[in-house]
Every structure is written in C-alpha cells, then in structure tokens.
Amino acid sequence: MNQSRKIKPIRCPGVCLRGIIGIATILLILSAGAVKAQQRMNIKGILDSIESGNPSMKMYDADIRSMNETAKGAKSWMAPELSTGFFMTPYNPALWKKSGDINGMGQYSIAGQQVFPNKSRLEAQSKYMNAMSTVAVQKKGATLNDLYAQAKSAYYAWMILEKKLTILDQNEKVLNFMIGNAETRYKNGLEKINAYYKAKAALGSLQSLRLMLLNDVKQKRILINTLMNAKDKMKDYVIDTTYLVRDYSTYIIDSSLFVNSRSDIKAIEKNIQLTYLKRELERTQLKPEFGIRYEHMFGFGGASNLYTLMGMVRIPIAPWSAKMNKANIEGLKWQAVSLEAQKQMVINESTGMAHSALTEIATKKKQIELFEKNIIPALRRNYQTMQLGYEQNTEELFELYDAWETLNMTQLDYLDQLQQLLAMQVELDRTLQIR
C-alpha cells in the first residue's frame, strides 16, 4: 500500500531572500539597459539632434558670434597720439641756462594729436560690419538643409532595408515549409527532387542577402549617428518604419518660392548687399578727415613758454591718392553683377530640377499604386492558389516555387520603387528647402 508523502515547505533564510532580491534587481537593470539600447527614433528626432549637435552648426554659431562681436567696434576712433621730448635744444647743456641778460636756449615739449574720423565713413563701416554675419546665418541654413537631406536619405534607405528583412523572414519560413514538405514527399515517392534543390539554393541566397542587408543597416546607422554627432558611432536603436509621401500640389514652383525659402539663395542676396555696403565704404574713403594737434613747450633758462595749435586735414581726392579707392569701387560694382548672375543661375537650375522631380514623383506614384492595387495582390492570390493546390496534391513543387519566386521578386522590386520615390522626395525637399 503506497503511503502519500507530505511535501515539507522549504524555509529560506534571510540570506537566501536577500540573494533572490539581488538577482531580481540585476535582471531589472539588465532589462532596462536592453530597453534603453533599443530606443525608437523617428525622423523628427534625428533632424532635431542634427540641428543641435552637429559640429558644423556650432562652427557657424561661433563664426556668427565672432563677426557680431567684431562689429561692436565699427565706430571706434583712432587712438590719440601723445609725444614728448626736447625741441630745438642745443647739444651743449651750458647754453640751456640763462647767462646774464641772455635767456637759455631750447625747450621741452609735450604734444597731443587727435584725428576725427569722417562720420559718414563710420556709419558706412558700421553697416558693413554688422551685415557680415547675415551671410554666415544663411550659409548655416544651407548647410543644415544639406545635412537634413543626407539624414533623410539614410533614414528612408534604412526603413526600406527593414521592410526587406521582414519579407526575408516570411520567405525563409515559406522555403523551410517547401523543403520539409518536399523531403517527406520524396521519401514517399510523391515528389521530384529538382525543385527541392532549387528551394535549398534559394534559402541559401536569402541568408546571403540577409547578411548584406544587415551590413547596409549598420552603415546607415553609423552615418546617422555621425550626422547627429553621437559619441558612440555604433549606437544601436530601432527606427519608426512609418513614412509620409508628401503632396506637393499646393506648391507654386516659381522664382519667388526659391528666393523666399532657399538659404543659399538668401546667402547670395546678403552677399550682394554686403558688396554694395563695402562699395559705399570705399566711397567714404574719398571724403576728407580732420584732426588737431596741440603742443606746449617749456622754455629753458628764463625763455618764454610756447605753444603750437594746428589743424590737420587729409585730402584723399588727389588723383595719385584716390586711384586705388576708385579702382576698388569699380571692382565691387562688377562683383555685385557677378553675384546677381549667380543668383539667377541657381534659381533657374533649381526651378528646372523641381519641375523635373515633380514629374518623376507623379509617375513613380502611379507605378507604386499599380504594385499595391494590382500586381502584388494578383501574384499573392496566385501563390495562395498554388499553395492550396500543392497541399491537395494537384500542383507540383516547382510550380509552387515559381509562384513564390515571382511574388518575392515583385515585392522586393516594389520596395526598390518605393525607395526611389522617397529618394526623389528627399531631393525635392532639399531643392525646396523643406525640413
């Protein structure tokens, strides 16, 4: 007769309980670290990080601050000049002293001199120096626009790679099903072996393709981390695979659109304004400047104290002194003409690129719509029909394999078409300077 055994409860001392709590704490920390390592990033967060952390932005900020600080001294005067020393003094010191009724010879002089700058020149110099940073501000915007384009291009390429990896996961399961089912049928004499080897080879090709895609994902992640100036260039995270196909129908593509939105065109405009300000500054160099000099002399040996008070004027309008300024004025005029032509060239090229991109995007959208509504659904139904027939022994494995292969290649082709559309969108966003 079997006797039932009573299970005695295990008593865990305080040390054991503390050990369990410690292990649980460690597991929580490790799981938290894993969650942190797999944080999710979207395109907005990446672009914000680039704007705040990319070294080129800090470089421009420092450059702009440097110009603004320098401009604070634009209205400074020249420093006053002081001089002191002997004036018309004999080398023989004995002659310095008074001799009878004859006063000593020589004086000791203290002199001061100040040049008063032309007011219009100071105003022109102030306007010119305060405008210098405006060019750098617009160049910063143009550089940021290029960085955004690089980041979005890498981000969307990474997103397509993730979608391809998802398709590979599904296809690997399908091929494993084909291979396993074919092995069973071959053993029972119900299947030909040729399609089986094709499926085995396709499985190997998928695994090779997976390695290549995973390497591409790493490259895109490194590029984005570099653009964000992340300390760890191998920092791991996942990205949001949702995307937006932008509607450009509200945009009117003309020159005013680019003038109002493009930072590089604004930089050229600011450079033109800066050239005219510099030209005006050169004109003020042809205006006279005045100064004053005062000198006091202490006479030796009873001689009277003397002073000198003189006015000074600089006359730059003389032909031999004004030649360089006039040449600079003429040169700056043609420099402004060149910049204006450059501005029109950029606007013309950008307008053509935008219209071309809009046409390509419209065509690509129609192609993708055909994939989504007609081609892929039809091929998926064909594959499902072949799969059902294969399971019911009315279709051969090679027919099922051909249906799968066609569907697989079409799905990958669809993702390539989608990547091309997103790349066109990124390029058009860069052309229109849309964040």
Residue 67 is part of a domain; what is its CATH number?
1.20.1600.10
- If we measure between CA atoms, which residue out of 354, 416, 430 comes closest to residue 156? 416
Percentage, residues of the chain above pLDDT 90: 67
Q: Given a cut of 90, is residue 190 above it in pLDDT?
A: no
Nearby residues of 421 by Cβ (< 8 Å), 6 or more positions away:
245, 361, 364, 365, 368
Q: Is residue 134 part of a domain?
A: yes
pLDDT at 191: 57
Name the token pair of 206. Answer: 């998928």
pLDDT at 36: 47
For 221-246, b/e burial (b = at least 16 CB within 10 A) is: bebbbebbbbeeeeeebebeeebeee
Q: Is residue 9 part of a domain?
A: no
Nearby residues of 60 by Cβ (< 8 Å), 6 or more positions away:
136, 137, 139, 140, 143
Question: Which whole-number Å values give the CA distances from 305 to 108, 152, 172, 297, in the listed order?
Answer: 9, 82, 109, 6
- If we measure between CA atoms, which residue out of 371, 376, 374, 377 comes closest to residue 419? 371
Total domain count, the chain: 1
**CB half-sphere exposure, 25, CA atoms < 13 A:** 6
Name the token pair of 219. Answer: 């490259």
Q: Is residue 39 part of a domain?
A: no
Q: Given a cut of 90, is residue 423 above it in pLDDT?
A: yes
> Binning pLDDT at 50, 70 and 90, where does residue 12 land?
very low
Tell me the β-bridge partners of 110: 84, 296
What is the pLDDT averaged over residues 113-141?
A: 93
d(CA 127, CA 73): 12
- In angstroms, the first-to-last Cα distance of the chain is 83
Name the token pair of 132. Answer: 């210098």
pLDDT digits (tens, 9 = 90+) for 37-61: 568 889 999 999 999 999 999 999 9
d(CA 161, CA 330): 57
pLDDT digits (tens, 9 = 90+) for 347-371: 999 999 999 999 999 999 999 999 9
> Binning pLDDT at 50, 70 and 90, where does residue 99 land?
confident
Q: Are strands 107-116 and 289-299 parallel, antiparallel or unpaired?
A: antiparallel
pLDDT digits (tens, 9 = 90+) for 198-231: 888 999 999 999 999 999 999 999 999 999 999 9
Q: Is residue 44 part of a domain?
A: no
> Binning pLDDT at 50, 70 and 90, where does residue 5 land?
very low
- Cα angle at 170 between 184 and 423, to 5 degrees? 150
224 and 147 Cβ atoms separated by less than 8 Å: no
Residue 116 — φ and ψ, nearest 5°?
-100, 110
Q: Is residue 19 part of a domain?
A: no
d(CA 427, CA 349): 14
d(CA 43, CA 428): 17
Q: Is residue 4 part of a domain?
A: no
d(CA 188, CA 2): 50
Q: Which domain holds residue 303?
A: 55-97+104-432
Q: Is residue 22 part of a domain?
A: no
What is the secondary structure of 129-146 as a DSSP string? Answer: HHHHHHHHHHHHHHHHHH
Q: Is residue 14 part of a domain?
A: no
